[in-house]
C-alpha cells in the first residue's frame, strides 16, 4: 500500500509505517518519484520518499497528538464528534449524556493532552494537526 498525500507531519508518517504502509509519496514530488516508488513496491521493497525526512514537520501540537493514547474511549469518541463539527449540545444528544458531562470530558481531554486553556482549543488542535483525517481513516 502506498500513501499518496500532501501531509508531511511526522506523526502521520510514523503511524503509516506502523500500519504496514510500503510507500509514502508526497504529492509535491509525485511526478518525480512515482515510477521509482511503484518499481520498488512491485519488487516487494518499501519505499519512502528520500525528501520526506527533510520535509517532515513537527506539528504545533506534536507531543499532544501522542497523548491521545491516554484518552479513554469516551473521550476519544467526544474528540471524534468534535472533529465532525458537533457542539456540546449535539454531542450530549448523540451520546445520551448531559451537557455537563460533555463539558467535563472536554476539560479532561484538554488536561490529558496538555493543551492551553483557550476558546475552541480542541477544534484548533484537531484541524491544525489534521486529526480529522486520522479519525475518518480510523487511525485513532
CATH 1.10.10.10 domain locations along the chain: 62-136
Q: Which residue has the higher pLDDT, 5 or 55?
A: 5
Most trustworthy range by pLDDT among 10-19, 102-111, 121-130: 102-111
What sign does the CA torsion over 9, 14, 19, 25 have? positive
Secondary-structure class of domain 62-136 per CATH: mainly alpha
| Residue-level pLDDT at 66 | 67
The whole-number average pLDDT for the span 39-59 is: 74
Confidence band (pLDDT; 50, 70, 90) for 84?
confident
Confidence band (pLDDT; 50, 70, 90) for 89?
very high
| Residue-level pLDDT at 98 | 96
Residue-averaged pLDDT of the chain: 81
Alpha carbon distance 107, 119 (integer Å): 12
CA 56 from centroid of its chain's CA atoms = 14
Global pTM value: 0.53
Per-position DSSP letters for 51-81, written without gaps between them: THHHH-B--TTHHHHHGGGGS-HHHHHHHHH
The whole-number average pLDDT for the span 78-99 is: 93
Amino acid at each position: 500500500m502506498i500513501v499518496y498525500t500532501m501531509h508531511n507531519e511526522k506523526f502521520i508518517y510514523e503511524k503509516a509505517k506502523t500500519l504496514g504502509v510500503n510507500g509514502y509519496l508526497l504529492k509535491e514530488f509525485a511526478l518525480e518519484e512515482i515510477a521509482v516508488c511503484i518499481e520498488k513496491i512491485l519488487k516487494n521493497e518499501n519505499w519512502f520518499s528520500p525528501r520526506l525526512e527533510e520535509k517532515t514537520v513537527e506539528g504545533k501540537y506534536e507531543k499532544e497528538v501522542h497523548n491521545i493514547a491516554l484518552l479513554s474511549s469516551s473521550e476519544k469518541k467526544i474528540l471524534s464528534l468534535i472533529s465532525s463539527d458537533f457542539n456540546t449540545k449535539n454531542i450530549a444528544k448523540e451520546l445520551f449524556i448531559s451537557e455537563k458531562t460533555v463539558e467535563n470530558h472536554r476539560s479532561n481531554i484538554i488536561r490529558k493532552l496538555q493543551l492551553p486553556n483557550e476558546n475552541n482549543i480542541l477544534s484548533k488542535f484537531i484541524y491544525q494537526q489534521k486529526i480529522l483525517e486520522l479519525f475518518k481513516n480510523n487511525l485513532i
